[in-house]
A and B are shown apart, each in its own frame.
Chain A
Amino acid sequence: MNIVVCLKQVPGTTEVKIDPQTNTLIREGIKNILNPFDAYALEEGVRLKERCGGRVTAISMGPPQAEEMLREAISLGADEAVLLSDKAFAGADTLATSYTLARAIEKLRQTDLIICGRQTFDGDTGQVGPELAEMLGLPFVAYVSKIEDINKGMHLQRMVEEGHEIIELPLPAVITVVKEINVPRLPSLRGLAKAKSAPIPVWTAEELAIDIDKVGLKGSATRVVKVFSPQRVNRGEILQGEPEEQVKNLISKLGDAGIV
């Protein structure tokens, strides 16, 4: 099975705040990490490869420093990795990102399955997976929580609000996975050694035979016009006293509100 896993390098924390006085963002010395949800996607890809043979290719669209994260992917079991990096790709929204990823995946060998994490830590949209499927003209299932059978097409479990569905999905296809699907492994010593010396090609816009109007900021249909801190109204009252007093007070307030 030829598997492609789409990975993104994100800031290592969501603890980003806005300085109320200057209305500007404050970022506290953050390390970049592999998007936590993508770790599950990578793990599932590697497990599938171990189960039925094949290759796992990790792919990422990002700045040059994302190469570090792709090396980490190799130490975790990916056979190879490719970085899509070019000034032209910058400022992309999910539409432009999925277009770029799609062209890159087409350049690889024939792919059977493309796995994405359910959303990113920073963007939180969860849109690249389905949009990528659309760009490639492939069937798509989101929120996969288990891959059961891989004999004729795939039998998977998809998580929905009230429980889960069993779906049959022919390959090739695109899926996004949720964290309930597995527990990502830690790197292996051989993986770390391989990752250190693995060649990670960087594909630019030129190498991808891409329509330059469809990538980066130019190719984005949406853009950010403002960022600000969420309003949090502190309307709280801390009830004082011993637990008995607190509870009595609370119930009386709930009574006033018509709840009890």
Chain B
Amino acid sequence: MGILIDLDKCNGCGNCIEVCPFGLLELVDDKIQVKEGCNLCRACQEACTYDAILIEAAVEEVEVSDLHRGVWVFAEQRNGKIKGVAYELLSKGRELADTLNAELSAVCFGHNVAEASELTGYGADKVYLVDTPIIKGFEEDLYTAKFVELICQYRPEIVLAGATPMGRSFMPRVAARLRTGLTADCTGLEIDLGRRLLLQTRPTFGGNIMATIICSSKRPQMATVRPRVFKKNTPDKERKGQIIKLDFERGGITSKIKLLDFIEDLTERVKLEDTDIIVSGGRGLGKAENFHLLEELANVMGAALGSSRPPVDEGWIPYSHQVGQTGKTVCPKLYIACGISGAVQHLAGMQTSEIIIAINDNPNAPIFEVATYGIVGDLFKVVPMLIARLKGR
């Protein structure tokens, strides 16, 4: 089991050394040796023209019980309002469930979650609702315990949740408690029907490399998905589904964490995730004050203000405006990137926007590769002109 070099076939050409992303191959006495840490990604096998690399996957212990059926979506909510990512996941989940010929269910924890009934309109056949003041705020311990209980009881084969701070915080706990696999931050989900497997695609190395991952011998197969990666369908209000209200007994569960207060960041007047237009600034702005120029443009267009990482790191604008790998993922109708070079980590957060406009004085800036329309120029000339013209209309 593992990786083996067939020393008879290996001729020491070294092609495989260059392509290993972890630098684990080396030439010793004209033959290739593998260092510790190989995770069998097969990059070397594909590069070897002598068929000298053998990779044997672990013997698949089929612990998969035929009893695991159904696709679940954790419908995250805050203050009674369901997050957009839940609807996006139900839309995608419906597709997956149809392929598997299985049921799609939504699971929602909270208090006074008015919109819970709307979840059926997005494709849910069932909605498991735990509505109680005890879990009004997000407490990892309580959410984890209840979700694990439900999964053990109803045995879904696939569980999806938004890769939000909440999702990325408590889903790993659920997965670890169930000793099953969890793939974070997925941007692609497909079904391998033959093996009833969820093929989970996600970015690694900051988005430079995509990896496809499976969870073959454990159930449920769990994944968190980035918001605004999948589109949400138009809801079908007529669609019928079952709303199953469940009790919550605090009983055995001790939540050790205490939520004392919530302090809202009020500088983000227009919510980045919900707007149709975003005006965003990068290092090219030069200093904090220059965000005023972009604010003016944003006001004229009724847009929200965004930023790449460097201005946030420099303290020119709060983190809540950051778009990118470690910031927010957005998918507006129009994204205007001013003085943003287009590093892969930033693109990860906005490249699915419908129309992307880039204004940058460097013609080689990577942002131009994803821009629908690019202007190579001085943003301090172009933006005021844009503002003037738009005001005039």
Give residues in A with beta carbon < 8 Å to B: 11, 14-19, 22-27, 30, 32, 62-64, 85-87, 89-95, 98, 118-119, 121-127, 129-131, 133-135, 139-143, 155, 159-170, 173, 180, 217-218, 220-230, 232, 234-239, 243-244, 246-248, 250-251, 253-254, 257, 259-260
How far is A162 from B386 in the complex, measured between Cα atoms in Å?
Answer: 30
Main secondary structure of the interface of A (DSSP, over half): mixed
B319: chain A residues within 8 A (beta carbon): 159, 180
For residue B381, CB closer than 8 A to chain A, the reply is: yes
Contacts of A250 in B (CB 8 A): 357, 373, 375, 386
Least Cβ–Cβ distance between A249 and chain B, in angstroms: 8
Contacts known (A164-B265, A167-B260); A243 close to B211, Cβ less than 8 A: no
CB neighbours (8 Å) of B214 from chain A are 222-223, 225
Least CB distance, A143 to chain B, in whole angstroms:
6
| Residues B207-249 near A (CB distance < 8 A) | 207-218
Given contacts A124-B185, A161-B328, A243-B378, contact A134 B209 (CB under 8 A): no
Q: Determine how close the nearest CB of chain A comes to the CB of B191; give it in whole angstroms.
A: 14
Task: Indicate if the CB atoms of A170 and B256 lie closer than 8 Å.
Answer: yes
Q: Are A232 and B369 in contact (CB under 8 A)?
A: yes
User: Which B163-191 residues have a C-beta within 8 angstroms of A?
Assistant: 164-166, 168-170, 172-173, 175-177, 179-185
Task: Tell me, yes or no, whether B134 is within 8 Å of chain A by CB.
Answer: no
Asked if A247 contacts B204 (CB within 8 A), the reply is: no
Chain B contact residues: helix, strand, loop or mixed: mixed
Q: Which chain A residues lie closer than 8 Å to B168 at the CB level?
A: 126-127, 142
Q: Is A230 in contact with B203, judged by CB distance below 8 angstroms? A: yes
Question: Known contacts being A14-B344, A131-B172, is A25 close to B165, with CB within 8 Å?
Answer: no
Bound complex: CA A251 to CA B19 (Å): 45
Contacts A/B (CB < 8 Å), 24 sampled: A11-B23, A14-B206, A15-B205, A23-B46, A26-B19, A27-B18, A122-B204, A124-B203, A160-B262, A162-B264, A165-B260, A165-B262, A168-B260, A169-B256, A218-B58, A221-B179, A222-B213, A223-B214, A224-B213, A225-B214, A237-B372, A238-B375, A239-B374, A257-B355
Determine the residue in chain A with the shortest Cβ distance to B366: A232
Interface residues on B, range: 35 or more
Query: Given A124-B184, A134-B172, do A155 and B260 touch, yes or no (CB 8 Å)?
Result: yes
Residues from chain B with a CB closer than 8 A to the CB of A217 are 1-2, 39-40, 58
Contact B41 A165 (CB under 8 A): no
For residue B288, CB closer than 8 A to chain A, the reply is no
Give Cα distance in the complex from A198 to B357, angstroms: 54
The reply to whether A27 and B19 contact each other, CB–CB distance below 8 Å, is: yes
Select from chain A the residue with minimum beta-carbon distance to B328. A161
Which residues of B have CB within 8 Å of A131? 172-173, 175-176
Contact A22 B47 (CB under 8 A): yes
| Interface contacts beyond A124-B204, A230-B209, A250-B357: sample of 13 additional A-B pairs, CB < 8 Å, sorted by A | A17-B209, A24-B19, A25-B21, A126-B184, A130-B140, A130-B176, A139-B256, A160-B262, A164-B263, A168-B257, A217-B58, A227-B212, A238-B368
A146 to B263, CA, bound (A): 13
Whether the Cβ atoms of B173 and A130 lie closer than 8 Å is: yes
**How many Å lie between the Cα of A238 and that of B371 in the bound state?**
9
Looking at the complex, which of B30-38, B95-103, B108-116, B117-125 is the stretch in contact with chain A? B30-38
A246 with B180: CB separation less than 8 A: no
Name the distance in Å between B393's Cβ and chain A's nearest Cβ.
Answer: 7
B296 within 8 A of A: no
* CB of B13 closer than 8 Å to a CB of A: no
B389-A247 in contact (CB<8A): yes
Which chain B residues border A237 with CB–CB below 8 Å?
Answer: 372-374
Residues of A within 8 A of B355 (CB): 254, 257, 259
Q: CB distance B19 to A243 under 8 Å?
A: no
Question: Given A91-B38, A223-B213, A122–B205 Cβ distance below 8 Å?
Answer: yes
A247 x B386 contact (CB < 8 A)? yes
Bound-state Cα–Cα, A154 to B124, Å: 41
Chain A residue contacts of B334, Cβ below 8 A = 254, 257, 259
Say whether, besides A124-B204, A164-B263, A250-B375, A30 and B385 are in contact (CB < 8 Å): no
